[in-house]
Amino acid sequence: MEEAMGNEKDLLFEKIKEAELVLVGIGEEFGETIANGKILPQFEEYCQSIEKNEGLRWMLPYLEKMHEDSMRTEKTVKAYETLEKLLKDKNYFIVSTRMDDYIYQTKLKAERIVTPCGGYRFWQCQDGCGKHLYQVDGHLFEKIYESMVGKGSKTESGSIDVSNSESARMDGNQDKIQPPRCPKCGKNLVFNNRKAEHYVEEGYLEQWNKYMRWLQGTVNKKLCVLELGVGMQYPTVIRWPFERMIYINEKSSLFRVHSKLYHLAEEIRGRGYKIQEKPIDFLVNWFV
């Protein structure tokens, strides 16, 4: 088993090396499983009390985002570092359905990334009015965090880490924080991602069009496609179009990494390699 995995990595390395273009798809399984599958109890308690208060409910996505960021470990960092090394000096494009935005903190080039599900970098009106996007003010995260754990509770690095929120409580300070408002209609601004009721797709369309143009350039080219943890959540975004591409392009190859949904359709089996593993485990510590 160990040896087989090694061979797949060597093969992928070779295929990427000889490829003219490399396409990467990142999906829902490209994340870390939270220990015991549970969120921090003190944090959960706090979220529950926020949820009961209609006037504060707008804070929940901020808290969820802070929680997700706090749970990320070196593993994710290292997995992306492997990706950076594999794609260095290559003509690549990355499509990711993840919403955690971590990819934008890596050395991967933002102009070669599209995240069609959006994330937490921009706000939009909850009604989507004007299809306008607004840069998220990170201070609001800090304010919410401080209202939860008290002032001066930041970690030494200055980063927000909810795993330190042992003293999370409702002390009335929460009411003083106002949600951001739409300058056009005065309703709340929400994060520009798929969870928004009226998702403003303009947040990613420009990159998507760039991606479509890039794809046109893959015709008859040596194309290596790497699919990392792409399941059936949004199959029309990555999985199915990738399969079609592999089917049409005789010079292409596909590496599908997934712990469960690693199977390949009959028609592309000759050009595909299935790797039954969690994508982060597959990539982590590769070049150490």
Output 129 or 264, the one with its CB closest to Zn ion: 129
Touching Zn ion, residues 18-57 (CB under 5 A):
none
Output 188 or 276, the one with its CB closest to Zn ion: 188
Taking the complex as a whole, the smallest distance from the CB of residue 188 to Zn ion amounts, in Å, to 9
Total residues at the site for Zn ion (CB under 5 A)?
Answer: 5
Output 123 or 242, the one with its CB closest to Zn ion: 123
Angle between helices 41-52 and 60-71 (to 10 degrees): 170
Taking the complex as a whole, the smallest distance from the CB of residue 185 to Zn ion amounts, in Å, to 3
Taking the complex as a whole, the smallest distance from the CB of residue 120 to Zn ion amounts, in Å, to 19
Touching Zn ion, residues 153-212 (CB under 5 A):
182, 184-185
Taking the complex as a whole, the smallest distance from the CB of residue 136 to Zn ion amounts, in Å, to 16
Backbone angles phi, psi at 222, to 5 degrees: -70, 110
Output 17 or 198, the one with its CB closest to Zn ion: 198
Give the C-alpha separation, 92 to 216, whole Å: 13
CB contact at 8 A, 224 and 256: no
Touching Zn ion, residues 257-276 (CB under 5 A):
none
Give the C-alpha separation, 75 to 63, whole Å: 22
Instruction: From residue 142, give the alpha-carbon distance in Å to each of 57, 78, 99, 156, 240.
Output: 17, 27, 20, 14, 40
Output 145 or 199, the one with its CB closest to Zn ion: 199
Taking the complex as a whole, the smallest distance from the CB of residue 131 to Zn ion amounts, in Å, to 10
Give the C-alpha separation, 95 to 243, whole Å: 14
CB contact at 8 A, 227 and 274: no
Taking the complex as a whole, the smallest distance from the CB of residue 63 to Zn ion amounts, in Å, to 23
Indicate left, alpha or beta for 133 from its phi (over 0: left) and psi (-120 to 50: alpha): beta
Q: Quick one: which H or E segment has residue 63? A: helix 60-71
Touching Zn ion, residues 61-100 (CB under 5 A):
none
Output 134 or 214, the one with its CB closest to Zn ion: 134
Touching Zn ion, residues 103-142 (CB under 5 A):
125, 129
Residues forming contacts to Zn ion in the complex (CB under 5 A) are 125, 129, 182, 184-185
